[in-house]
Amino acid sequence: MVGAKRGLNGLNGLTERRMLGLLGQLGRALLLGAALLGSGAAARAQQDTVETQDGLSTTGKILSEGYDGLDFQHKPGSKKTIAWKDVTNIQYGGAAEFSELVSKFSSTSAEDALGTLQKLKSDAKLRPVIKQQVLFRLAVLFAKSGDHDAASAAWQELVKAFPSGRYLDQAAQGVVDAHLAKGAPAEASKALEALGADAKAGNPGPRFDSMVAILKARLLEAQGNATGAKAAYEAAEASGTLSSEQAAYAGLGVGRCLRQLGDLSGSESRFRKLVESAESPRLVMAGAWNGLADLLLEQGRKKRDAELLTLAFYAYLRGDVVYLPLDGESTAENQAALTGAAICCESIAQIDANPAVKQSYSQQATELRGRLKKLYPNAK
């Protein structure tokens, strides 16, 4: 019995030592597993995620964001280009501060956003893909705040840094918008030429040349040369180099010129074709509805017809409710929509004999002009 006891005690001691050893191994394995999981999570946090129209989400590294699409590396040694029309969303890895700013951009004060962007811009180690985004956001911020000189300079800086980059069209339109907002079409022409010269280093191709041609036509329009502008827009249409979106922009310009030249039926036809087209981009839809509203407003004020003015009012509202500009897009149509809607309300208030109706529309006009001033402090 004593031997048996000793044997049992020895077995228990052996078992205990083995258990302790096994537990130690298990603990080390768990720690190693946690470390591996942590390193895996950290690695994933550094990866970019691209979501596409087909519903797929792919992780990897964005090598560059060019004019026609982004170059993406899913794994080392692989590379593919994804066209912008196929991209629905991008999440950048290793850019926590920038990503947080973008997620709160609409609710962040301009001063705070500017400070964060300037800080990121000065970071010499910032990835070029993020640097392009930072320069773009700075230009957008200056444009929204009404600092037209700073906005123009920021768009120029963006193209100098990324002459084959993603935002060439927005930059070209941005410098034109900035100078037209100051009432300086001649300066706008010079700025557009300078930006186009900078972009040549990236060889963006005929699509960008077509964009510049459309913007030059717009400058003629802004200078009151409706005949020359119409001819320039139509020449761009006939070039055969326009994308479907650019063709829509050119068509919108022709419609505006026809109205200025007194061809109201031709102008209306152009605008209606655009609002009925599934290929018209957001800003063209806003512009075409504004064009139709302009025609209705003109008739309504001339005839003192509240029904026509009401139709014009609702047409303008599409440019402030349905077809709002995205970040980096021109705000000109949104500003025109708010101004036009306010004028409609003021006109109805002037001709309606009912005091309650007068007060209601006068109040709406005040609210619309207040919204315009809040969104665009330097709007005329």
* pLDDT higher than 80, residue 24: no
pLDDT, position 17 = 59
Q: Report whether 67 contacts 204 (CB < 8 A).
A: yes
pLDDT, position 286 = 97
Confidence of residue 38 (pLDDT cuts 50, 70, 90): low
Residues β-bridged to residue 61: 73
pLDDT, position 136 = 95
Give Cα 231 to chain centroid, integer Å: 30
At 173, list the tokens: 């339109």
Burial of 26 by CB count in 10 Å (0-12 exposed, 13-18 middle, 19+ buried)?
A: exposed
Q: What is the mean pLDDT of the chain?
A: 88
pLDDT, position 45 = 57
pLDDT, position 76 = 84
pLDDT, one tens digit per residue, over 272-281 is: 999 999 989 9
pLDDT, position 250 = 96
Q: What is the mean pLDDT of residues 77-105?
A: 90
C-alpha distances (whole Å) from 133 to each of 59, 130, 185, 201, 327 are 19, 5, 28, 20, 11
Average the pLDDT over each of 21-35, 156-170, 180-194, 270-284 and give the range with the smallest value. Answer: 21-35
* pLDDT higher than 90, residue 22: no
pLDDT, one tens digit per residue, over 231-265 is: 999 999 998 888 888 999 999 999 999 999 999 99
* pLDDT higher than 60, residue 170: yes
Confidence of residue 9 (pLDDT cuts 50, 70, 90): very low
Residues of the chain with pLDDT > 90, as a percent, come to 72
pLDDT, one tens digit per residue, over 115-139 is: 999 999 999 999 999 999 999 999 9
pLDDT, position 105 = 77
If DSSP codes are grouped into helix, strand and coil, which group holds residue 146? coil
pLDDT, position 31 = 52
* pLDDT higher than 50, residue 5: no
Burial of 124 by CB count in 10 Å (0-12 exposed, 13-18 middle, 19+ buried)?
A: exposed
At 58, list the tokens: 């792919």
Nearest to 144 by CA among 354, 329, 337, 296: 329
At 53, list the tokens: 């129209």
Backbone angles phi and psi of 69, in degrees to 5: 175, 180
